[in-house]
Every structure is written in C-alpha cells, then in structure tokens.
Chains A and B, each alone.
Chain A
C-alpha cells in the first residue's frame, strides 16, 4: 500500500532563513510519481512539482529545490532565503502508475510560518 509521511507538522522560521520540508514515502510499485503542493491561506492547493521514479535528478526552480533519493524513499523540499509569502501548508503526494486506478495519496502536510 502506498503511504506518504511528513513528520514535521509545523515549522517556523525567520525570513531569509533556509528551510527543508521532509517527505518519506512507501510504495511497492517501481513506477510512481511524487508531487509537492502548496496551500496558502486562501485555501486552494497549488501544484509545485512532479517527479517520476526514474528521474532522480534534483531540481531547482528559483528559491525552491527538491532532493529525490530513492535509496531513502525521500523527496525533500527546500526553500532558500524564505519569504513571508512562503507561509503556507505544504503537501507531499504519491501516485502509483502500475497499481490500477488509484488516486493521489497525500501526506498530512507541513505548516510553514515565515516570520518577518
């Protein structure tokens, strides 16, 4: 069965600090996809990134970077030089490609507060 664990429930940082949000997943499939979504105070979840299980290359997008390590089943998300606008709940999610019609499974989310 697929499972996503975000051990950090809440994180508070001061503006301009770097912060890493952890995500550990479990799956029996060899082909799967990992996602990060952001939920700002407005409530709407916004897609940030999608990676497939065959691509372990780390990705950087501006101040955001993602570290995918199959050996530890982790897909961590780092925000560099955090800003107040980064304050949100962040969800990691997993989707298996070969197990049939299974929808996305989300972690419980990490609430990030960036303090000015």
Chain B
C-alpha cells in the first residue's frame, strides 16, 4: 500500500487567511491529485500533476493553486480563504501504470472550515 499523508486533518480559519494544505507520498508516484468533496459526497477534481513542474486545473473552478517542486510533495494553497471554501479536501496519488489503469491511493483528507 502507498503511504500518503495529509496535514492538517482539521482546520478552522477566518475569512481572508492564506492557508496551505499539505500532501506527501512516500511511494515515488508521479501522478498526484487534489479533490474537493462537498457535503453531498460528490468528488470534484480541482488540480492534478503528472510529475515535477507539471500542474493542471481540474473540472471545478477553484481559487486555489498548487505546486509540484518535488515528486513526493503536492501542496494546495488558498491565498484568501472564504466560507465557500469550507469542504473536505482529498489528496491522491497513483503509480506510473499505463493510462487509465491507475489505482488511486488516497490520503485521509483535510476538513477545512472557513468562518
């Protein structure tokens, strides 16, 4: 099993604050993803990366940014948090298998509440 870690597990902050959600994996996976999960359970892809210095926006328009300077690290940053950002954020990674055949490994998530 891949080891993928997200910190913090829970975060409560005030509007306007800048925050960074951390995600690290120890399996050397090239592909990493950030999903936002709304209270209705639906998963929305917000960012993904297929390797160092590679980042792409997902389907959900997001006011967040990501960086991929190291293979194992894929942090998500909100420059100015708003109550609409309150959600569960899930990080995932997958090994370098042929396209479509990737099995995703997920972190435990960060539950963000913006007051």
Q: Which residues of A come within 8 Å of B, CB atoms?
A: 31-33, 35, 37, 39, 42-47, 50, 52, 89, 91, 95-98, 100-101, 103-104, 106, 108-109, 111
Provide the bound-state CA to CA distance between A95 and B31, in Å.
14
Q: Which residues of B come within 8 Å of A, CB atoms?
A: 33, 40-43, 45, 48, 50, 56, 58, 88, 90, 92, 98-109, 111
Q: What are the residues of chain A within 8 A of B45 when measuring CB–CB?
A: 103
Please state if B99 and A101 are interface contacts (CB–CB under 8 Å).
yes
Partner of A45, one of B56, B58, B104: B104
Please state if B42 and A95 are interface contacts (CB–CB under 8 Å).
no
Q: Given A43-B108, A101-B50 in contact, is the A109-B42 Cβ separation under 8 Å?
A: yes
Q: What are the residues of chain B within 8 A of A111 when measuring CB–CB?
A: 41
Query: Could you give 22 example pairs across A and B, Cβ below 8 Å?
Result: A32-B100, A33-B100, A37-B106, A39-B41, A42-B108, A43-B108, A43-B109, A44-B106, A45-B90, A45-B104, A46-B106, A91-B43, A96-B99, A101-B56, A103-B33, A103-B45, A103-B48, A106-B42, A108-B40, A108-B42, A109-B41, A109-B43
Provide the bound-state CA to CA distance between A33 and B45, in Å.
18
Nearest CB in chain B to that of A10: its residue: B41
Provide the bound-state CA to CA distance between A37 and B104, in Å.
9
B95 CB to closest chain A CB, in angstroms? 12
Nearest CB in chain B to that of A39: its residue: B41
Q: What are the residues of chain A within 8 A of B41 when measuring CB–CB?
A: 39, 89, 108-109, 111
A27 CB to closest chain B CB, in angstroms? 10
Q: What are the residues of chain B within 8 A of A39 when measuring CB–CB?
A: 41
Q: Given A44-B109, A45-B90, A111-B41 in contact, is the A104-B98 Cβ separation under 8 Å?
A: no
